[in-house]
Amino acid sequence: MCHMEKADFSLKARHKKKIWFAAVCILLIFVVLVVQMSYIMVFCSEYYLARADDLHERERSIKASRGRILDANGVVLASNKTVCTISVIHSQIKDPERVIKILCEELGLTDEEVRKRVEKVTSIERIKTNVDRDVGDRIRNYALEGVKVDEDYKRYYPYGSLASKVIGFTGSDNQGIVGLEVKYDSWLSGDSGKILTLTDSRGVELEGMQENRKEPVAGMDVTLSIDYNIQMYAQQLANKALEEKQAKTVSIIVMNPQNGEIMAMVNAPEYDLNNPYELNFEPETVVTGQAYQDLLNGMWRNKCINDTYEPGSTFKMITATAALETGAVTLDSQYYCPGYKIVEDRRIRCARTTGHGAQDFTHTVMNSCNPAFIEWGLRVGVDNYFDYMGKLGILEKTGIDLPGEASTIMHKKENVGQVELATMSFGQSFQITPMQLLRAASAIINGGTLVTPHFAVKASDAEGNNVKIFEYETKENAIKKETSDTMKGILEKVVSEGGGKNAYIEGFSIGGKTATSQKLPRGNGKYISSFIGFAPVDNPQVIAMCIIDEPVGVYYGGTIAAPVVRQLFENILPYMGIEKSVQS
């Protein structure tokens, strides 16, 4: 009996311990839950409120107005046009067939294109962007449930093809694609805003609830050194030369040689910036796919910086400068041209097959005598020649503020023998960009400062406050000022008395150099005609270059390219305030 009572007592004690243990566990769990809830409610409240809002808010972006691109005088070269973006919200559509029918009619889309998006189960589906505002307003007036019409911006170029291969264009989401539009995209793009709409758990917008908006921040305006009037006139001249000479392309660059500001850059034929995916010519056959894209890429190329060429006789400015700088020649140095020069096993002829006879250094430049320049180049020597090409920026990119700048195609120094140096001396057997040559020529005439060619001058906000003044590297003392002064005097005689006389303008002091280079392979009958001119000679304020690629008929640079620069200067020198300084 006693034994049974003890067993009973032991059993009750064990049950009691279990109950207490279970109670303590439950209490501990409860305490942990309370602590956890308190932590969430006090320390994590903002995070979970935001998560809750995300679950019950639908977000639609508002594009920022892209900054304008302005010319040097404030003329708007790129601006924005108000358009609309049409979207659908699947959960709110009550009459899908009516929505599909109206959107097809108004947007010019197929039933298949619209139906695919309308029936897609997503929070929001974009139907079409860059819709004209009038069309957007009509769709809005239908009051279609589940259809959203948001105002948007589309890039607009008031002057169509003006400086198209410099300015570039934007994509469907207003980001820069090519040209200055992509180079300065971070300044122009701005920050997009948002529209936040409250919805229920099914994604249906709650009636009577106010939309929350985060307003977009407009992009900065970027002011260029391009002058609309100079660009427009240069483009007219290039188009005229393109037509008259039936050329492949015509390029013109106008720059301030003192600081590298580019006033105009033309690559004719240009294309329509408002329709950049339409070819500016009619293909001989139907072209689609990658072949069509290749044609577009070619149309968008800026030949002044993206392509290289053999400069020909305009490069003799570099050879003459190096010869004077190194003391290889003086103004009194004489050379007799019999019409050719033999270098090792090569007989290299002069453009004047009968020869120029006896001539001093100045007249070898005026006559653009190949045998003389071979002699000057050989006297300079390989090491010095490469040294001065480096000093004048020929061996490096210019650093211009446009994407896709090409590099020099040059012999390796260790591979340059007498023949290679001879051909280099008159601008053959290597390739550079037009911009590289114009930069070097600027250093030769501005006193010896190597500038960085550029377009962007400043970025400013909507109120016109300057946010950024763009600065560019310069390298002084590339050559001596005395050499620069001597070269300016010689190049003035090239225009007043030599091969560049078709660039002469009575009353103005103008210097320059012509070139006619035969394209590879030699003997194919294709040439590049060019001329570089500057004014006024004493203190050059403008330097210009015209390149005519594959002209038909007469192809000499002094005959067809120099007159283009003359016509350009006749108009822009007075416009720039450069007065006549030479007695008639």
Residue where the block lists tokens 């290889």 = 328
Q: Which 3 state secondary structure label does DSSP give 198?
A: strand
- Residue partners of 445: CB distance under 8 A and separation at least 6: 257, 484, 487, 488, 491, 511, 534, 540, 543
253 with 262: CB under 8 angstroms? yes
Considering the candidates 65, 87, 164, 313, report the single residue annotated as catalytic. Answer: 313
Strand partners, 400: none
Q: How far apart are the C-alpha atoms of 56 and 206, rounded to whole Å?
A: 10
Residues 252 and 545 sit within 8 Å (Cβ to Cβ):
yes
The reply to whether 509 belongs to the active site is no
8 Å CB contact between 517 and 428? yes
Nearest C-alpha neighbor of 426 from the set 504, 367, 486, 470: 367
Q: Rounded to whole angstroms, how far apart are CA atoms 281 and 278?
A: 9
The full DSSP string for 226-270 is: --HHHHHHHHHHHHHHHHHTT-SEEEEEEE-TTT-BEEEEEEES-
CA 317 remoteness from chain centre: 28
In the block, tokens 């008929």 appear at: 553
On whether the CB atoms of residues 224 and 455 are closer than 8 A, the answer is yes
| Residues 190, 188: Cα–Cα separation, whole Å | 6
DSSP summary character for residue 457: E
- The DSSP secondary-structure symbol of 512 reads E
Give the residue numbers annotated as catalytic, written as ranges.
Answer: 313
